[in-house]
Amino acid sequence: MKKFVVALFGLKIWLLLVFATLFFPAYTAEAERIEAAPTPTPAATAADKTTRKTSEPYTGDLSIFEDAERAKNLQIDRVMDLLGIGEKKTVADIGAGSGWFTVRAAKRVGNEGQVFAVEINQEFIDHINKRAKSEGFSNIKTVLSKPDDPMLPANSVDAVLILKTYHEIAEPVILMKKLKAAMRKGGLVGIIDRDGNGADHGLDAATVIREMKQAGFALKGQYDFVKPDNMDYFLIFE
């Protein structure tokens, strides 16, 4: 009887060892696979931090963005056509300022669309909220963002315009990587800026293209119709 109990105990140990050998590697492989899965907004690496000069974010009078000739000079309708901004679309205006572009995009997308007015400046956010109310727009949502994060929901945006703002973005590559995660499939990002060295309220197009590529975007189009003096450029990325 004693021998039988000892044999049974030995058999149990043996079965336990066989079970552990067969199933434990599978369990650890599964745990590693889950940990290695990509995250929607990967952590910034040291190479993503900018080392070039950027401009101080504008904090002055907002009326300068409301010039009566601006829509005509910028050909803003042509800009919106190229970005595919139409009925029911979701658009983000990053660095929205007075909301000049926000309200134009809001008219285009209609009541079933939405425009995110993204700003790091709380006073400008308050201004856009008042403006949206007084002009009767219920499809504008203001977003108080961070210098390195547009704070937009994942997979939510069809088109973005970054108008005279890119040169002010303190951490462009980190912000654009986060923006990439906010884009819907086929979404487009437009950047209008002027030539410069980063610190003088402009930045050369080649640097913008290089940084956008680093953030995972591909250049889709390059235009110079947005200003007759040839200082401004309009880039489209997807």
Ligand X SMILES: C[S@@+](CC[C@H](N)C(=O)[O-])C[C@H]1O[C@@H](n2cnc3c(N)ncnc32)[C@H](O)[C@@H]1O
Which residues would be at the binding site for ligand X (CB under 6 A)? 57-58, 65, 94-98, 100, 118-121, 124, 145, 147, 163-165, 168-170, 175
Indicate the residue among 175 and 182 with the shorter CB distance to ligand X.
175
Tell me how far, at minimum, the Cβ of 209 lies from ligand X, in Å.
19
Indicate the residue among 89 and 178 with the shorter CB distance to ligand X.
178
Tell me how far, at minimum, the Cβ of 35 lies from ligand X, in Å.
31
Task: In whole angstroms, give the CA distance from residue 223 to residue 235.
Answer: 6
Indicate the residue among 89 and 164 with the shorter CB distance to ligand X.
164
Task: In whole angstroms, give the CA distance from residue 161 to residue 80.
Answer: 9
Indicate the residue among 158 and 168 with the shorter CB distance to ligand X.
168
Give residues with Cβ within 8 angstroms of 113, minimum separation 6.
Answer: 87, 88, 89, 90, 91, 106, 139
Total Cβ atoms within 10 A of residue 133: 11
Query: Which residues lie across from 90 on neighbouring strands?
Result: 114
Indicate the residue among 192 and 205 with the shorter CB distance to ligand X.
192
Helix 122-134 and helix 100-109, axial crossing angle in degrees, nearest 10: 40
Tell me how far, at minimum, the Cβ of 20 lies from ligand X, in Å.
53
Total Cβ atoms within 10 A of residue 31: 10
Total Cβ atoms within 10 A of residue 37: 6
Tell me how far, at minimum, the Cβ of 197 lies from ligand X, in Å.
16
Indicate the residue among 7 and 183 with the shorter CB distance to ligand X.
183
Beta strands in the chain (DSSP E): 90-94, 114-119, 140-144, 157-163, 183-194, 219-223, 232-237
Tell me how far, at minimum, the Cβ of 114 lies from ligand X, in Å.
18
Tell me how far, at minimum, the Cβ of 17 lies from ligand X, in Å.
58
Total Cβ atoms within 10 A of residue 121: 17
